Structure 1
Amino acid sequence: MDVLLIAGLWLDGSAWDDVASALRSLGHRPVPLTLPRSASATLDDQVAAVLTAVDATSGKPVVVGHSAACTLAWLAADARPDKISKVVLVGGFPASDGKPYADFFELRDGVMPFPGWEPFEGLDSADLDEEARRAFAAAAIPVPGGVATGVVRLTDERRFDVPVVVICPEFTPAQAEEWINAGDVPELARVKHLEFVDLDSGHWPMHTKPAELARLLASAAVDLP
């Protein structure tokens, strides 16, 4: 099974190296994506790159989105509902139609740099040691302003037919269900096949629990409705 891997803000495809290696050993074909990151790149550019990867597969891939990129994975399901076998969301939820993609932090000179670790203190980063934090910050790629502030457009209700797995790292499945039932994640409230899986890690399990994450992704790839 082809497994497309889309990392969240400030990361490129290399963030998945350890997960990809483990997925290969489990018999799958990982496709880590590095999205357009130039200062002039837009959300549409990144969506187009994801769809190009989807269209390049021979079958119906599993599309994995991490953190903010959960929205990119969901935009792919919206654009290719018949081409994707499952969407897996790791540590995040898709934005709704008309909402900005990821305008979470201040833009500087047209980009959104990594804001440092203060906003992520607590469960998000508890399993990252100082060396891992320094390496992450040093490698962080500023997010183009046209991506961060791009407006999400969802148009095809067949996306709700695509099965979804929510992998819950720094929050629990019970919390995720509570947020969805409270109306905080309206997109997932309408998904027909929705599953929650717990993962005991912080917000970046591809760095801290790659083998465990790979096993969950492999399970999602073979456990299709």
Structure 2
Amino acid sequence: MDILLIGGMWLNGSVWDGVASALEPLGHRPVPLTLPGQGDGSASATLDDQVAAVLAAVDAAPGKPMVVGHSVACTLAWIAADRRPDRLAKAVLIGGFPAADGQPYADLFEVRDGVMPFPGWGPFEGPDAADLDDAARKELEAAAIPVPAGVAKGVVRLTDERRFDVPVVAVCPEFTPAQAREWIDAGDVPELARAKHVDLVDIDSGHWPMVTRPAELARILAAAADAA
């Protein structure tokens, strides 16, 4: 099965290299995506541009692919479920939850000169970055690509309720499956509260398991694909 891999803020497709190399021997074809504005040098990219890139990858896949979103890109994976509910085998959400219709995509940090640069490690101290050593932090920060304002401030649009039929796997890194279930049941994650098939999977990592636990994450993704 094709497994489309979408990194979150400031990341391009290379962040999935370790996961991709571990997935191939498990019988699946990893397809890391470099999104418009996050690796192609375009600071004018919009959320619609990123959505179009994800949908193009879905449409190009043979059979039904599995779409994997990390962090804020969980929303991109969920938009794919909304736009292509009959084409997806499954949506996997790593370390995040999908925004609801009408919400901003990722209006999280200061925008300067038309982009949202990586804010440094201060906002991520604690469970998010606990398993990143100094070398990993420096490497991630050096590779961080400022996110265009047109992406970060884009408005999420969801229109097809068939998205709730797409099976979901929520991978829980810096939080536990029990916490995720509590948030969903409390109505804090309205999109997943309405999803008909949601599995919660634990991984003992911080917010970037593709960096710190690539082989384990690959096994989780392969198991999800096999179950589909």
Query: Hey, what does 2:197 align to over in structure 1?
Result: 193
Counterpart-to-counterpart distance in 2, 1:180 and 1:149: 25
Kindly provide the amino acid, as one letter, of the partner of residue 2 in structure 1: D
Report matched runs for 1:6-155 at 5 Å.
6-37=6-37, 38-155=42-159
Report matched runs for 1:200-215 at 5 Å.
200-215=204-219
Give SS of 1:192's match: coil
Counterpart-to-counterpart distance in 2, 1:191 and 1:176: 14
Which runs of 5 or more structure 1 residues have no equivalent in the other structure?
none
Query: Hey, what does 2:5 align to over in structure 1?
Result: 5
Deviation at 1:144, TM superposition (A): 0.4
Counterpart-to-counterpart distance in 1, 2:136 and 2:195: 36
Which runs of 5 or more structure 2 residues have no equivalent in the other structure?
none
- Tell whether 2:183 aligns with 1:179: yes
Deviation at 1:39, TM superposition (A): 1.0
Kindly provide the amino acid, as one letter, of the partner of residue 157 in structure 1: E
Equivalent residue in structure 1 for 2:221, among 206, 210, 217: 217
- Tell whether 2:172 aligns with 1:168: yes
Counterpart-to-counterpart distance in 1, 2:142 and 2:18: 19
Deviation at 1:159, TM superposition (A): 0.2
Structure 1 stretches of 4+ moved >2 Å: none
Counterpart-to-counterpart distance in 1, 2:224 and 2:75: 18
Deviation readout 1:175-209 (Å, 9 max, x if unpaired) = 00111111110000000011000000000000000
Q: How many corresponding residue pairs?
A: 224
Counterpart-to-counterpart distance in 1, 2:21 and 2:138: 24
Kindly provide the amino acid, as one letter, of the partner of residue 34 in structure 1: T
Deviation at 1:169, TM superposition (A): 0.4
Give SS of 1:30's match: strand
Kindly provide the amino acid, as one letter, of the partner of residue 191 in structure 1: A
Counterpart-to-counterpart distance in 2, 1:221 and 1:13: 20
Counterpart-to-counterpart distance in 1, 2:225 and 2:124: 30
Counterpart-to-counterpart distance in 2, 1:86 and 1:139: 29
Counterpart-to-counterpart distance in 2, 1:100 and 1:191: 21
Deviation at 1:18, TM superposition (A): 0.5
Scaled by the length of structure 2, the TM-score of the pair is 0.98
Deviation at 1:118, TM superposition (A): 0.3
Deviation readout 1:108-156 (Å, 9 max, x if unpaired) = 0010000000000000000000111011111000000000000000000
Give SS of 1:197's match: strand
Deviation at 1:161, TM superposition (A): 0.2
